[in-house]
Chain A
Amino acid sequence: MIYKKGINEFRKIFILLIMIMLFVALKAQEKYTLSGTIKDAETGEDLIGATVSVVENLGTGAVTNVYGFYSLTLPKGEYTLRYSFIGYNKVNKKLLLNEDKKIDLELTPSGQTLQMLVVLAEKENDNITKNEMSTIKIDPKDIESIPVLFGEKDIIKVVQLTPGVKSAGEGNSGFFVRGGAADQNLILLDEAPVYNASHLLGFFSVFNSDVIKDLTLYKGGIPTKYGGRASSVMDIKLNDGNSKKLSASGGIGLISSRFTLEAPIVKNKGSFVISGRRTYADLFLKLAKNKELRNNSLYFYDLTAKANYKIGEKDRIFLSGYLGRDKFVFGKTFSFDWGNKTGTLRWNHIYNQKLFSNTSLIFSDYSYKIKITEGSQKLVLSSLIRDFNLKQDFTYYKNDRSTLEFGGNIIYHKFLPGSLSGEELNTLKINNKYALESALYLQHYYDVSSRFSLNYGLRYSNFNYLGPSTKQVFSSKGNLISETKFSKWKSIQQYHGLEPRANVKYQLGENNSIKASYNRNYQYIHLLSNSTSSQPNDIWVPSSNNIKPIIADQVAMGYFQNFAKNIYNTSIEVYYKNLQNQLDYKDGANLFLNNTVENQLVFGKGYAYGAEFMVKKVLGDFTGWIGYTYSRTFRKIPEINKGYPYPAKQDRIHDVSIVGMYKLSQRMKLAATWVLYTGSAVTFPSGKYNVNGQNIALYTERNGYRMPNYHRLDLGLTWDRKNIKEQINPETGEKERVSRKIQSSWNFSVYNAYARQNAYSISFRQSNTNPNITEAVQTTLFRIIPSIAYNFKF
């Protein structure tokens, strides 16, 4: 019944969608369309977010999409078009628009990128004029000098330095956005979701910054084309590969090395890029004298590859893939390996100058395997989550003021929460779970006037928890009452919902604007983890008859102001977020290899609010920003803390980050970052007692204590080797400056420069000297970590 109702709902929305399209088509007037692509003249990479503006009518224009495609519809006439992108030379073009025209253009890099901080890669006053808020954009080219742990450049660590985004812990690549949990972030790598985005127990993200073209994080105002997570979307796009010539780049660092190769397949028609990275701490272990130590290893590697090919004027195919694996081996008895695999096959098709289409087939897989060998006994423990996703997106460029995005997708999820097998053991298997998640969406970007713009949309999502599996029903006390077997494709439980979203912008003047947004997001799959940072053996589970989907509503408002000819950008954003069906764990919950894991969970509400302040200097020898966030995050769950609200573990009241970059000379760049934040909320004992012959702690309130405040200074220095040499041009006989074939740079950095002993954890133990005394012990992970890296490109 419920299933049928869902289908009907689906149908209704689909009809609505078609009607809107028709409406749009009917209204189209006698105008002409200019379309095309914008690329980098040196590498042939598509430029995302490059603008085409009409000089005669400022405020009118188009922006390229993620494939570098733009479309602009204007009344018949003569125009001057300005093609621009930050860090590239502008191109002006005169054009008589008396028929539909196609202009493909290549922009040359201006070579002045060093003077501009493009960490938030935008046009001078895009932050004011764009109807987009709560969004962070990062271009990996511009973060190279920002110091990071072990000198291992990591784009996610830079995102963590912006307001509203918090690191999951010391050196950790997991992050929290506006009070949401770490599993409420949708992390996409070329459209494929990455289920466990960290290597080496969280210290490095799985993304190799060398091949990332663009990163956008939506903290709010999330476009309707994204869905499935409650708090944020991090959309990462890979480079397409140099379509002009063969080129290679790489780096040698303290703990890992990277190498990237890119080349055209057919010049200007297709290209590929392949990049690999591996850590080598374990190779040093091989040199150890201790034999036992030599048998241990701990390393990770990842491989990223992408290829694209232009079939004709209107069609283009992309294939991208990622493979990353961590491996930890302890002697002959224990081995643990885990990692992600993703793959995306995309087909771009331009139906006509106004209708752009992309079809994607996406695969994603995360798995882990633990092997334990003890004598003749051998145990293998494994778990995985796997997705197949078919996605269709359309963009309809109605006119210079109106753009429509619509489409849908369907994902087949497979969950293997865990199985344990051994030679002398019955195989222990937690029931597999399956689900179908689908969505339809529509979004309208509309510039009402030159000052006022609106974008709004609706997403309909549907989730079907499917057999073959077993439906478990629990009593209010959590005892298993009944188990019902469901056969393949039979619906066990279905959920669906409408997710309205809207953004408005009103530009007050040339240099300031106000913006507001609302969005509702549904999240149907959940990560079970009883640790603060992401662990390889965390498991994903679908919503079921016992677990309801998370529903998040967020309202946000912002004021944006630029000063001194857009050299200084400032912003204030405030938000309030309401979360339904938040999941937490019963006291002493057992999540590991538990067939009735759903009765270990408790559900309740959550809410979060905060204010984010940002002052940024984007031009000059000195660039950087100061960000400050005040935020609170609470949970209210009847079974926890006697039903009173308690701060979530990611509740950090104050958070300051300062990033400064200074250009000492043409070849020398200095960078420093400083962070300060309130310690995380933790649970400490308020007493102790003796039971079962043990002294045990008595806990009275959840997360009632705070870790000490955290602060840290990192320093970095990037020194470019002389990349330009002078030579005499044999034809003209004049001296000229040319780029060296091999460009290289050294990067020195110091993590935690003043050796602050920040608390990674505080635990309690019996004193070694007097067993009657319990003492609190603080563990500090990294005191002062210097590192050095060498990067090259040719």
Chain B
Amino acid sequence: MKNTIILLAFSLLAFSCEKVIHVDLNEANPRYVMEGNIIAGNTSIQLKISKTTSYFNPTSPELVNNAMVTISDGTNITPVASIGNGIYLVTNYSPQIGKTYVVKVDVEGNTFEANAVIPDSVSILTTELIDAGEVRFTFNDPLNANNYYRIKQFVNTYAENNNSGGFILDDFGLDGTQVEEFVFFGSYDVDQPINTINSGDTLYLELQHINLETYTFLSTLETVTDGGGEFGVATPANPTQNWSNNGLGYLGGGSKSIRILVVP
């Protein structure tokens, strides 16, 4: 919001100008980036491994296919196999609420480890299609605990290991209350709502009750990407990740509740 204010102030003054310049940046040694979520309610675990590239490099980041990955639930260790494109997958694996999972990655002489605790599930209570693209829903926030949520939406195809998108929420000021939220499906632009939802479309609404580490990563990611904007206000930094050995990315943990709506 601060950025918006400053921007508006300057557009009012209308004196500023922009130009593209050349900046010499140092080249950091490539580092490993690992991203995956362990969600109770899913039936598989997927991990994506890639490397960092130089900042101005126009090609997409290098994917890593030669890592050894395992997941442990405290008793059994299960291998997670590479299926190419930097993706590692184990199917028929159902994470359990209350358990702590440890993922270990061995790659080119480096070892990274992260763990994820799976919190209780929080169910979506009610859903209501207000508009073709907008859904109002409610859920009960558990009392006397700090709770964190990630809300995701899908149109027509549901993908349980999709890591992108969605928005996060914490229960600060809402502890123990019935929470009401609104989600937009399809494209939505602040200035001009474009409704790309049609009659007959299936809407998948997913409420993930996530652990603190997952929330911390996603929320710091938000501040970091927001703050690097136009007037560079926040001190640029890396999001707070939970891999050992300075691994980048995060291992998330949560449990999910899904509601499916069909647009009439």
> Which A residues have a C-beta under 8 Å from some C-beta of B?
200-201, 281, 285, 296, 298, 328, 330, 336, 420, 425-426, 428, 479, 530-532, 535, 537, 585-590, 595, 682-694, 696-700, 702, 704-705, 757, 759-764, 770, 772-783, 785
- A217 to B: closest C-beta gap in Å: 27
How far apart sit A42 and B41, CA to CA, in the bound complex (Å)? Answer: 86
Is A693 touching B54 in the complex (CB atoms < 8 A)? no
How many Å lie between the Cα of A686 and that of B21 in the bound state?
17
A774 touches B55 (CB 8 A): yes
| Interface status of B225 (Cβ within 8 A of chain A) | yes
B164 contacts partner chain A, Cβ-Cβ < 8 Å: yes
- Bound: A29/B248 CA distance, A: 77
Cβ–Cβ contact B18 & A778, under 8 A: yes
Which residues on B sit within 8 Å (CB–CB) of A773?
56, 58
Residue of A whose beta carbon sits closest to that of B234? A530
Interface contact B221-A691, CB-CB below 8 Å: yes
In the complex where A690-B33, A698-B31, A772-B59 touch, is A296 in contact with B228 (Cβ < 8 A)?
A: no
Residues in chain B near residue A691, CB distance under 8 A: 33, 35, 163, 221, 248-250
Q: Which residues of B contact A778 (CB under 8 A)?
A: 18-21
B21 touches A776 (CB 8 A): yes
B232 contacts chain A at the CB level, 8 A cutoff: yes
Question: Which of A692, A694, A779 has most chain B Cβ within 10 Å?
Answer: A692
Are B240 and A687 interface neighbours, CB within 8 A? no
Task: A530-B233, A587-B235 are known; give 11 further A-B pairs, CB within 8 A.
Answer: A281-B12, A535-B2, A687-B53, A687-B55, A689-B53, A691-B35, A697-B55, A698-B248, A700-B28, A779-B17, A779-B231
Residues of B contacting A692 in the complex (Cβ-Cβ under 8 angstroms):
35, 163-164, 218, 221
Given A587-B237, A763-B229: A686 in contact with B23 (beta carbons within 8 A) = no
Q: How far, in angstroms, from A296 to B14 measured CA to CA in the complex?
A: 14
Interface string of B21-36 (1 = CB under 8 A from A): 1110111101101010
B212 partner residues in chain A, CB cutoff 8 A: 479
B245 at the interface (CB under 8 A from A): no
Q: Who on chain B is nearest to A776 by CB?
A: B23
B-to-A contact residues, CB < 8 Å: 2, 5-6, 8-10, 12-13, 15-23, 25-28, 30-31, 33, 35, 50-61, 163-165, 172-174, 177, 212, 218-221, 223-225, 227-240, 248-250
Instruction: Determine whether the beta carbon of A690 is less than 8 Å from that of B231.
Output: no
Are A201 and B55 in touch, CB under 8 angstroms? no
Complex Cα gap A776–B25 (Å): 11
A336 to chain B, nearest CB (A): 7
**Contact residue among A694, A770, A777, A781 (Cβ-Cβ distance under 8 Å from B15):** A781
Chain A residue with minimal CB distance to B2?
Answer: A535
B25 touches A775 (CB 8 A): no
A685 touching B236, Cβ below 8 Å: yes
Query: B174: which A residues are within 8 A, CB to CB?
Result: 426
Give the contacting residue for B220; candidates A588, A685, A757, A782; CB below 8 A.
Answer: A588
Interface residue from A201, A686, A772 paired with B25 (Cβ < 8 Å) = A686
- With A694-B164, A770-B58 already in contact, the answer to whether A783 and B17 are too (CB < 8 A) is yes
Bound Cα distance from A537 to B15, whole angstroms: 24
Q: Which residues of A contact B53 (CB under 8 A)?
A: 687-689
Dominant SS among interface residues on chain B? loop
Chain B's closest residue to A336 (CB) is B5
Q: How far is the CB of A474 from chain B (nearest CB, A)?
A: 13
A686–B26 CB distance below 8 A = yes
Cβ-closest 4 pairs across A and B: A693-B164, A587-B237, A588-B220, A686-B28
Cα–Cα, bound, A399→B17 (Å): 62
Task: List B contacts of A770 (CB < 8 A).
Answer: 58
Residues of A within 8 A of B163 (CB): 691-693
State whether B236 touches A687 (Cβ < 8 A).
no
Query: Is the Cβ of B221 less than 8 Å from the Cβ of A683?
Result: no
* Residues in chain B near residue A780, CB distance under 8 A: 16-19
CB pair B8–A330 under 8 Å, yes or no, is: yes
A649 to B220, CA, bound (A): 21
Complex Cα spacing A783 to B13, Å: 13
Question: A588 contacts B33, CB within 8 Å?
Answer: no
Contact between A783 and B15 (Cβ–Cβ < 8 Å)?
yes
B61 near A689: Cβ-Cβ < 8 Å:
yes
Closest to B221 in A: A692
A763 to B17: give the CA distance in the assembly, Å: 13
> In the complex the two chains form, is A686's CB within 8 Å of B55's CB?
yes
Q: Which residues of B contact A689 (CB under 8 A)?
A: 31, 33, 50-53, 61, 248-249
For the complex formed, measure the closest distance between the CB of A146 and the CB atoms of chain B, giving whole angstroms: 21
Residues of the A chain whose Cβ atoms lie less than 8 Å from the Cβ of B16: 760, 779-782
A747 vs B18: C-alpha distance in the bound complex, in angstroms? Answer: 30
Asked if A757 and B19 sit within 8 Å, CB to CB, the answer is: yes
Complex contacts, B22 vs chain A, CB 8 Å: 776
**In the complex, what distance in Å separates the CA atom of A708 from the CA atom of B229?**
19
User: What residues on B are CB-neighbors of A590 within 8 Å?
Assistant: 219, 223
Is B248 a contact partner of A785 (Cβ separation < 8 A)? Answer: no
CA distance A685 to B239 in the complex (A): 13
Q: Contact at B33–A764, with CB atoms within 8 Å? A: no
Given A426-B177, A588-B239, verify A762-B55 contact (CB < 8 Å). no
Residues of B within 8 A of A757 (CB): 17, 19
